[in-house]
Amino acid sequence: MKFSALLTSAGINIGLCSLFLSLYSLLRKQPGFVYVYFGRRISEENDTNEGSCILDRFVPSPSWIVRAWEYKQDDILSIAGLDAVVFLRILVFSIRVFSIAAVVCVFGVLPLNYFGQEIHPASIHSESLDAFTIANIPEGSRWLWVHCLALYIISFSACILLYFEYKNIASMRLSHIIQSPTNYSHFAVLVRAIPQENGESISDAVQKFFMNYHASSYLSHQVVYRTGKVQRLMSNAEWVYKNLVRLKSTAISKTCVPITYRCGLCGGTSDSFQLYRNEFEPDEKKPCPNNSDSRTKAKECLAAFVFFKTRYAAVIGTQLLQSSNPMLWVTDLAPEPHDVYWSNLWIPYRQLWLRQITVLLASIVFMFLFLIPVTFVQGLTQLDKLQQMFPFLKAILAKTVMTQLVTGYLPSVILQLFFYMVPPTMMLFSAMEGWISRSGRKKSACFKVISFTIWNIFFVNVLSGSVISQLDAITTPKSIPILLAKAVPRQATFFITYVLTSGWVSLASEVLQLFALVYNAVSKYVFRVKDDPNSVPSFPYHTEVPKLLLFGLLGFTCSILAPLILPFLLFYFFFGYVVYRNQIINVYCSKYETQGQIWPIVHNTTVFSLILTQIIALGVFGTKKSPVTMSFTVPLLICTLLFNEYCRQRFSPIFSNFSAQDLIEKDRDDEKHGRMEEIHQMLHSIYSQFPADTINRDVHDANSRQTQQI
């Protein structure tokens, strides 16, 4: 690819970005789209008043950027929780480390590459981009020590920054656990695989077991009912019917006043049917063992939430093997109430390991099936091969603009489109794995998407012009570093365009919320459905974290080989920082918290990127016949591995366990302030299965609207 093709690509992308951003700054001021762009604010703060005058509404302005900057970390912590802060820390870390890398590589490595001797400098405009990569350095060059030094600087600064981020986030997580208001999930334990004896009910079995072995700390329990789709629909229909029958026999005139609901920008009447239902809602809030209505006829499944008197006792309940058969009485700390993934709780515990293996295999198959579109895309960057295969293309591709468009732009767009199907698929896989919490499912999907992205975007693109033919080479582990060393600089230009299209444009479309916008417009103006303030999406960590980590990987691996990518990447991270701040503050709501559990994944992936970079550098120094720099890279590799092991020892247990010390302190604090009684009373209603159910969300909504009015 020529330098001019890169400029074409950059031009198109900058144009697209500007278009999207202008559109955004206009649309966000229109009252019609307020649910698209201020979903979180409306649902959580009821703050819809942007206070803009009419004229201002039709002039694009960058004021939102300033506003996104203004929020401090503590504000974001209180608004969107620790997960959002941790997500932003990924961006901060990336900006820091790639600033250092950009300074070192653009001023140190890039000139060396450009004035290397393999390709003689021509006019910069028609220069092949290879002239900016390490491919331009001749074999045995004495200047390779600069590359080695740059690698050292980048690796060390990355490790130091990573260490402080990990330390910082760990202490944030600890203080968040200690200082945050009562988290009821700390008192609850999900028990699965409850053995039933002699037709005893699940409830009795649970009570008997915990009264026997945990008498001093056991509080109460709540059995989980099976809610398969069909069963749920049937029981709900039955319930609605019964209520309607009862409704007829009661005086309804009092409550049957249509209530006008004003969202601040547009009015609308609420559905009166929902209000009828609402009348019977108090019944629903009763603790489960008491309500002997049709619900209890629902099939009990072999799972229950068990509530303990203290956090400490609950954690003890989860950490110990309960029964001498490890497949019975399996305990896990309960997810937060909103986080419970109810439809997975009925899955028999014995199935889980089979499901996990199946999903693992399915994910791997999916990863390899995806090679087909990737191969196609990769073909596009090698025009000569394509023209050989399809001679009729020659006419079209004769025009320079078309060539530049096809090589510089089309591949990443096609890849991008194919990639939209990956996160939902991975979410589906993770749901099948049987996670008990939504956050767990998302975290697992996140990990799957990361593996998928790194494999399919990085490795497959790097290792192949024609992927399948080179798969043989992949099975020869020893030759991989050399293979990578040859391929990464060659593919660097593709990665730069990938940053431009997938990075910049996807950020711009993220801020514009293209899908949500279209969906909102269609549902409102075509189907006349009212905006629902409770359908605010939660932040899609499983799509955004892998993106950031992939760009981090590209940045590290290309840094000393093709430093031209770094300025583009740095801009991406800056831009992303603003965009994601804005989205977190305005658009997405955080229904549940993992309290920063995503950071270990980020840390490990970043260390993986660093090690990959070092291995590739080893290969490059090998092919350039520079044994000195090679031997200097090996200790760096070992140090990075040791650093990772240290961090794993020092920090990772904090992210998977709670410490006895903290829990006991928090229990004592609550007891001292007399909050324990209150907490114990709340537990049942909070973990009630059915009000949290989808069908009942309407009831809940109607309820909240009513309180809004009052």
Tell me whether residue 364 or residue 660 sits nearer to its own copies (CB atom): 660
Q: Under the criterion CB under 8 A, does residue 327 sit at the interface with its own copies?
A: yes
Tell me whether residue 49 or residue 476 sits nearer to its own copies (CB atom): 476
Residue 529 is which amino acid? V
Handedness of CA 354, 357, 359, 361 (dihedral sign): negative
Q: Under the criterion CB under 8 A, does residue 660 sit at the interface with its own copies?
A: yes
- Find the shortest distance in angstroms from Cβ 324 to its own copies: 4
Tell me whether residue 353 or residue 515 sits nearer to its own copies (CB atom): 353
The contact mask relative to its own copies for 125-164 (x = CB under 8 A, - = no) is ----------------------------------------
Distance CA 560, CA 113 (A): 9
Part in contact with its own copies (CB under 8 A); list of ranges 70-78, 392-400, 550-558, 645-653? 645-653
Q: Which DSSP symbol is given to 340? A: B
**Token pair in block for residue 458:** 């990085």
Distance CA 700, CA 338 (A): 13
Q: Under the criterion CB under 8 A, does residue 308 sit at the interface with its own copies?
A: no
Distance CA 186, CA 335 (A): 8
Q: Under the criterion CB under 8 A, does residue 646 sit at the interface with its own copies?
A: yes
Under 8 Å between Cβ of 193 and 327: yes
Supply the angle between the helices 400-408 and 3-27 in degrees, to the nearest 10: 70
Part in contact with its own copies (CB under 8 A); list of ranges 80-88, 180-188, 376-384, 660-668? 660-668
Distance CA 364, CA 101 (A): 34
Write the secondary structure of 584-601 as one string of H (helix), E (strand) and C (coil): HHHCCECCCCCCCCCHHH
Instruction: Scan residues 394-423 and list those touching its own copies (CB under 8 A).
Output: none
Q: Which run of H or of E encompasses 192?
A: strand 188-192
Residue of the chain from 662, 670, 693, 698 that contacts its own copies (CB under 8 A): 662
Q: How many residues line the site for its own copies (CB under 8 A)?
A: 37
Distance CA 184, CA 9 (A): 52
- Find the shortest distance in angstroms from Cβ 642 to its own copies: 7
Residue of the chain from 469, 657, 694, 708 that contacts its own copies (CB under 8 A): 657
- Coil vs helix vs strand at 220: strand
Distance CA 303, CA 227 (A): 12
DSSP string, 342-408: HHHHTS-HHHHHHHHHHHHHHHHHHHHHTHHHHHHHHHHH-HHHHHHH-TTHHHHHTSHHHHHHHHH
Part in contact with its own copies (CB under 8 A); list of ranges 1-9, 510-518, 595-603, 659-667? 659-667
Part in contact with its own copies (CB under 8 A); list of ranges 154-162, 237-245, 524-532, 638-646? 638-646
* Closest C-alpha among 420, 364, 361 to residue 547: 420
Q: Under the criterion CB under 8 A, does residue 625 sit at the interface with its own copies?
A: no
Distance CA 369, CA 619 (A): 29
Tell me whether residue 322 or residue 444 sits nearer to its own copies (CB atom): 322
Residue of the chain from 353, 390, 420, 525 that contacts its own copies (CB under 8 A): 353
Part in contact with its own copies (CB under 8 A); list of ranges 419-427, 509-517, 591-599, 653-661? 653-661
Q: Under the criterion CB under 8 A, does residue 659 sit at the interface with its own copies?
A: yes
Where do we find the tokens 């044994």?
A: 627
What lies within 8 Å, CB to CB, of 244 at 6+ separation is 276
Q: Under the criterion CB under 8 A, does residue 664 sit at the interface with its own copies?
A: yes
Sheet holding 300-308, edge to edge: 218-225, 300-308, 188-192, 330-333
Part in contact with its own copies (CB under 8 A); list of ranges 1-9, 282-290, 519-527, 661-669? 661-669
**Token pair in block for residue 594:** 């993992």
Q: Under the criterion CB under 8 A, does residue 537 sit at the interface with its own copies?
A: no
Under 8 Å between Cβ of 646 and 162: no
- Find the shortest distance in angstroms from Cβ 450 to its own copies: 24
Residue of the chain from 19, 233, 237, 354 that contacts its own copies (CB under 8 A): 354
Residue of the chain from 49, 126, 249, 324 that contacts its own copies (CB under 8 A): 324
Q: Under the criterion CB under 8 A, does residue 179 sit at the interface with its own copies?
A: no
- Find the shortest distance in angstroms from Cβ 651 to its own copies: 8
Instruction: Scan residues 448-507 and list those touching its own copies (CB under 8 A).
Output: 472, 475-478
Tell me whether residue 123 or residue 324 sits nearer to its own copies (CB atom): 324
- Coil vs helix vs strand at 607: helix
- Find the shortest distance in angstroms from Cβ 364 to its own copies: 14
Q: Under the criterion CB under 8 A, does residue 122 sit at the interface with its own copies?
A: no
Q: Under the criterion CB under 8 A, does residue 320 sit at the interface with its own copies?
A: yes
- Find the shortest distance in angstroms from Cβ 666 to its own copies: 12
Tell me whether residue 77 or residue 473 sits nearer to its own copies (CB atom): 473
Q: Under the criterion CB under 8 A, does residue 661 sit at the interface with its own copies?
A: yes
Residue 517 CB burial class (10 angstroms; 0-12, 13-18, ≥19):
middle
What lies within 8 Å, CB to CB, of 594 at 6+ separation is 83, 439, 443
Q: Under the criterion CB under 8 A, does residue 316 sit at the interface with its own copies?
A: yes
Tell me whether residue 215 or residue 710 sits nearer to its own copies (CB atom): 215
Q: Under the criterion CB under 8 A, does residue 653 sit at the interface with its own copies?
A: yes
Distance CA 132, CA 92 (A): 28
What lies within 8 Å, CB to CB, of 211 at 6+ separation is 218
**Token pair in block for residue 416:** 């991008």
Instruction: Scan residues 40-59 and list those touching its own copies (CB under 8 A).
Output: none
- Find the shortest distance in angstroms from Cβ 326 to its own copies: 4
**Token pair in block for residue 184:** 């009821």
Residue 502 is which amino acid? S
Part in contact with its own copies (CB under 8 A); list of ranges 302-310, 520-528, 573-581, 652-660? 652-660
Residue of the chain from 651, 686, 687, 705 that contacts its own copies (CB under 8 A): 651
The contact mask relative to its own copies for 189-218 (x = CB under 8 A, - = no) is ------------------------x-----
The neighbouring-strand residues paired with 304 are 191, 223
Under 8 Å between Cβ of 702 and 280: no
> Could you list the residues that contact its own copies (CB under 8 A)?
174, 213, 315-316, 319-327, 353-354, 357, 472, 475-478, 642, 645-646, 649-654, 657-662, 664
